[in-house]
Amino acid sequence: MRSVAAVLVPFVVMLALATVGSPGASAALPGVPPTSAPWVTIGDIRNNFYRQIGNFALLMRRIVFREDISLVEVVSGSTQAAGAGFNYRLLLRVADGEGSIGRYQVVVWGVPKSRDWTWKVVSFNRVAGN
C-alpha cells in the first residue's frame, strides 16, 4: 500500500504547475496574490538563493513534462512584492540532455524561510537567444 505522502506529493506538484508554460500575471494562479507593486532588479544575482529558485522551477518542469534539463546560470532577475511573499522573475540559461543551451524566463512566487506557504511556478517560457 502506498503512503499518503506518495499519493499527495504528485498531486501537490501538479497543482503548483497548473499554469507552467502559460504567460500572464501571478493572479492567474490560485493562491498567488495579485500585485501592482513594481519589479525591482536583483543586485546580487549570483546569490545562491536565486539559483535555488531557478533549480526549483526546473525541477517542477522536469517532474511534470519529464524533460531532461539542468540549470547552467541565472543570468538576471527582478523581484516584486506579492501578498505575503514575492514574485521572482528570473532569466535562466538551461541545458537540455543533448547539451543545447537555451534561455528561459521563469516567474516563481514564494515566501522565503516559510514552511507555511507552498512555492509556485507561475510561468516558464523560452525566450530568444542563448
pLDDT-derived band at 9 (thresholds 50, 70, 90) equals: very low
For the record, the C-alpha cell of 97 comes out as 540532455
Specify whether the CB–CB gap between 91 and 64 falls below 8 A. no
Between CA 54 and CA 42 the distance in angstroms is 14
Question: Would the pLDDT of 84 be above 80?
Answer: yes
Between CA 44 and CA 63 the distance in angstroms is 29
Please state the pTM of the whole predicted model: 0.76
Percent of the chain beyond pLDDT 90?
67
DSSP 65: H
CA 54 to chain centre: 6
